[in-house]
Structure 1
Amino acid sequence: MWFMHKQAVGVISLLMAFWIGFCGFAAPALALTEEQKLVSEVWRIVNRNYLDETFNHQNWAEVRQKVLGKPIKDQQGAYVAVQTMLKTLDDPFTRFLDPEQYRSLQVNTSGELTGVGLQIALDAQTGQLQVVAPIAGSPAEKAGIQPRDRILQIEGISTAKLTLDEAAAKMRGASGSSVTLLIEGEDKSQREVKLTRDRIALNPVVVELKKSPQGKPIGYIRLTQFNANAPMELAHAISNLEKQGANAYILDLRNNPGGLLQAGVEIARQWLDSGIIVYTVNRQGIQGNYEAFSSALTQDPLVILVNQGTASASEILAGALQDNHRATLVGETTFGKGLIQSLFELSDGSGLAVTIAKYETPNHRDINKLGIKPDQVVASEGLTRDKIATKDDPQYQAAVNLLTQKSVVVGGV
């Protein structure tokens, strides 16, 4: 989850908001090397902001001295030293991001990128760089690049030994610049494609008007992450579905890992007229809250689909609508991430995610490591992408059945 502070921007697929800024420190009696300065910079950020003021029941100052007492030869050595220091906190969400990882996470939650518009993955069997899908309206889609096409080269450089981040970085660039890809189709034919990079909006919303077996029009909305575009795109989806005659909704949050706190809050407000959305508690025990204060976009019945991959901002939204009796939850117990991180930019362009607070649902449930239990538990194993929201999707079918029962009314159960 991300708090929004001054100088804050959205970053990272965990639930967060974060500061972009350089953290200064007082000059020590003995001059520090650049590598030691980076370690000290990280130490100070954690010292000032970390949720657990015992720092995992250890002397945090001694941890710094121990790390700085060993030689740090270069930048990579500094990164290792920082990671060693953070590991003592025993908190997987407080972590260091090298410059490449940091830039990648910024792109993921900013809501837009400048590039060719491809979702890519490494083929599990061959290890080849493969196209998952071109983004609608992107240069890649206009050039005819198809799902399952393989990208063999980027600007003449083989992709065989590139990581996903490295390949993505090579395809991103300034709007108007060009990049040439060597593409291999499923028929093994190869072709060079020259693409002109452009600014591309990332739409995390999949929407479709569906019909129950009884003919009831149901608005199906799948939200894949809480990026900067999510609230606006979801509002458009609800508006369009209302015009098409939807009188019930399924909001699919399965495998949604989270994103921006503010996006989760704004989306909750689209379904609620009033009520607390989430409470936040910092290291001093000070409690804050976000609440709904205006008219919801629809009053129609709502079922939310959740599973073990529903995390962070997704859990805030699901918990808010469940506790306010606005939605019925169907599926499996959620992931259980009830901690809030802020992401700080460091002086060398790397980043630092720090757990700064925890959150509670409107009924003051602390779901960290526990998750949210759905109102109706329905297991689902081995569900492939093409079976999502079909007759072969038992969780989706359970939601449809609930919405077609006369007992299901606005407010859930």
Structure 2
Amino acid sequence: MRQRAFWVGLIVVLQIVVGVFWWSPPALALTEEQKLVSEVWRIVNRSYVDDTFNHQNWWRVRQQALKERMTDRQQAYDVIEKMLARLDDPFTRLLRPQQYKTLQVSTSGELTGVGLQIAIDSETKNLEAIAPIAGTPAEFAGIQPKDLILNIDGVPTTQLTLEEAATRMRGPVGSHVVLRVQRHSDRQIKDLDLVRDRIAINPVYADLRTLDDKTDRQVGYIRLTQFSANATSEMTRALEDLEERGADAYVLDLRNNPGGLLQAGIEIARLWLEDRTIVYTVNRQAILGSFEATDSALTDDPLVVLVNQGTASASEILAGALQDNERATLVGARTFGKGLIQSLFDLSDNAGLAVTVARYETPSHKDINKLGITPDFEIEPEALTRDIVATSKDKSYQTAIDWLTRQGLVASTTSLPQAAKN
């Protein structure tokens, strides 16, 4: 009798459970705004380099985001940016449609603005200059790497996201924008009135110069300012031209080059290297990948690479590959230290999403993120202005020329003039 009562009780319980299951109201359909939030969440969930998501419960972050009030697309963007902020990674960010379009243009054509590459320091949250683009209002105004941008037209940058700050610096040709800048060198604060201009992406400047007055030996000077979509073709053209004109050695200037497209960095490294590892990548599963150089190097002439604190990202990949493979000697100041790789994802509403998907290591497995690359021979950081770059007043450049002269153009990384070892 007790056993029968047990089974009856169990059946009643099962009926209640089944009844609750069948009578549960159907899940509400997601709104278009919620679908966009979920789309972003899924991309980060499967791609982000840190599988702890900055020690966040990423599923709970999604649930909280979907509960936010979203009656239009702008509110959805606000919710997405709030969700991404939980990762504490300024490089993983939403690119609203116009911002995404501008970014695509900046790596393939031209844009209008002041020509300043910027970043948010992940620790201090300050907006700082990575480097001005050569020949732009930012360079003419004297803005240097590591300078802090305190406000833009009176708006404190601590209140702005990276993309909001960039948007405020862009604008029609001829219009003005006032940047309050704190110098990295002496901490002085100045208000700079910049006139926006068209920023042409012409990443390579090349010149053939006589090495010294005693010989007819020639050195090819190449300044690479950005890894844009046409950087590889322009570098190839410059190298082939200088080789045909009889260059005996090269100085590659990567100072104030903030990076750009990873693939451009890889392809340009292949112009200088043969059968060597260029860079290792490490994803969230700690799986090691690599990019290799083949047999496509255009020259094996001696090479000196100039770097400084504005040398970042893809520039550091190139500099690290040339240094670790003993293909070049690095001269200058410690580099910026951005060792993270982002991928761009198209969103369904023409917005974009930049996500940190991996970190990279140099061929000798150095992780340079927030550390930078130390040159073989360090030179005290100096302000680079158009009238100084690659002249006798340019200490790093002159050190490179002195070294090539004393080495007799023999490819060696053993020594520099004593004066450069300070």
TM-score of the two chains, using structure 2 as the length reference: 0.71
- In the alignment, which of 114, 121, 128 is matched to residue 121 of structure 1? 114
**Structure 2 SS opposite 1:271:** coil
**Amino acid of the residue matched to residue 121 of structure 1?**
V
| Aligned ranges 1:6-25 → 2 under 5 Å | none
Deviates more, 1:79-88 or 1:207-216: 207-216
Instruction: Map Cα deviations across residues 264-292 of structure 1 (whole Å, 9 max, x no partner).
Output: 11111111122111111111111111111
Please state whether the residue corresponding to 2:206 is helix, strand or coil: strand
State how far apart, in whole Å, the 1-side matches of 2:104 and 2:388 are.
31
| 1:208 aligned onto 2:204 | no
What residue number does 1:62 align with? 60
What one-letter code is carried by the residue in structure 1 that aligns with 2:94?
A: F
Matched residue, 2:258: 257
1:397 maps onto 2:407 in alignment: no
The 2-side partners of 1:294 and 1:253 are apart by 23
- Counterpart of 2:71 in structure 1 is 73
Q: Could you list the per-position Cα deviations for residues 219-247 of structure 1 after superposition, in whole angstroms to 9, with x for gaps in the alignment? A: 01011111121111111111111122211
Residues 308-331 of structure 1: per-residue CA shift (max 9 Å, x gap): 111111011000010000000000
CA contact (8 A) 1:278 1:320 kept: yes
Counterparts of 1:3-402 in structure 2, within 5 Å, are 29-110=27-108, 112=109, 120-121=113-114, 163-167=168-172, 202-214=201-213, 215=215, 216-402=217-403
Q: Per residue, is there more helix in 1 or in 2?
A: 2
Q: Does the Cα contact within 8 Å between 1:119 and 1:133 map onto a contact in 2? A: no
Aligned-partner residue type, residue 37 of structure 2: V
Give the secondary structure class of the aligned counterpart of 2:107.
helix
What letter is aligned with 1:35? E
TM superposition shift of 1:340: 1.0
Q: Secondary structure at the match of 1:46?
A: helix
SS across alignment from 1:54? coil
Q: Is the contact between residue 205 and residue 230 of structure 1 (CA under 8 Å) also seen in structure 2?
A: yes
C-alpha change, 1:288 and 1:242, in structure 2 (3 Å) is same
Q: CA deviation at 1:408?
A: 6.0
Of structures 1 and 2, the larger Rg is shown by: 2
Q: Using the aligned pairs only, state the percent identity.
A: 61
* AA matched with 1:350: A
* Aligned 8 A contact 2:269 2:278 in 1: yes
Q: How many residues end up aligned between the 2 structures?
A: 321
In structure 2, the CA distance between the partners of 1:407 and 1:259, relative to structure 1 (3 Å rule), is same
Residue of structure 1 in register with 2:10 after alignment: none
Q: Are the counterparts in 1 of residues 114 and 170 from structure 2 also a CA contact under 8 Å?
A: no
User: Helix, strand or coil for the counterpart of 1:61?
Assistant: helix
Q: Secondary structure at the match of 1:219?
A: strand
Q: Which has the higher contact order (CA 8 A, sep 6+)?
A: 1
Runs of 5+ in structure 1 lacking a partner? 1-27, 124-131, 135-146, 149-159, 171-199
Residues 226 and 258, structure 1, Cα contact 8 Å, conserved in 2: yes
* 1:293 Cα deviation from its structure 2 partner: 1.4
- Asked if the contact 1:320/1:362 (under 8 Å) is kept, the reply is yes
2:302 alignment partner AA:
P
Identify if the C-alpha distance between structure 1 residues 92 and 245 changes in structure 2 by more than 3 Å, giving closer, same or farther: same
Q: Which amino acid aligns with 2:172?
A: A
What are the Cα deviations for residues 193-232 of structure 1, in whole angstroms up to 9, with x where unaligned?
A: xxxxxxx994310111122343542101011111121111
* Structure 1 residue 163, shift from structure 2 partner: 4.6
Q: Residue 71 of structure 1 aligns to which amino acid in structure 2?
A: R
Distance in 1, matches of 2:288 and 2:240, equals: 34
| Alpha-carbon distance between aligned partners in 2 of 1:347 and 1:119, rounded to the nearest angstrom | 26
Deviation of 1:382 (Å): 2.4
Return the offset for 1:165: 3.4
Distance in structure 2 (CA, Å) of the matches to 1:387 and 1:119: 26
Cα deviation for residue 358 of structure 1 reads 1.0
Report the CA distance between 1:61 and its aligned residue: 0.8
Q: Is the 8 A contact 1:274 1:292 kept in 2?
A: yes
**How many angstroms apart in 2 are the aligned matches of 1:202 and 1:70?**
41
Name the SS for the 2:170 alignment partner: helix
SS at match of 2:228: coil
Tell me if structure 2 keeps the 8 A contact 1:340–1:359: yes
CA–CA separation in structure 2 for the residues paired with 1:307 and 1:382: 10
Cα displacement (A) at 1:338 = 0.9
CA RMSD after TM alignment: 2.7
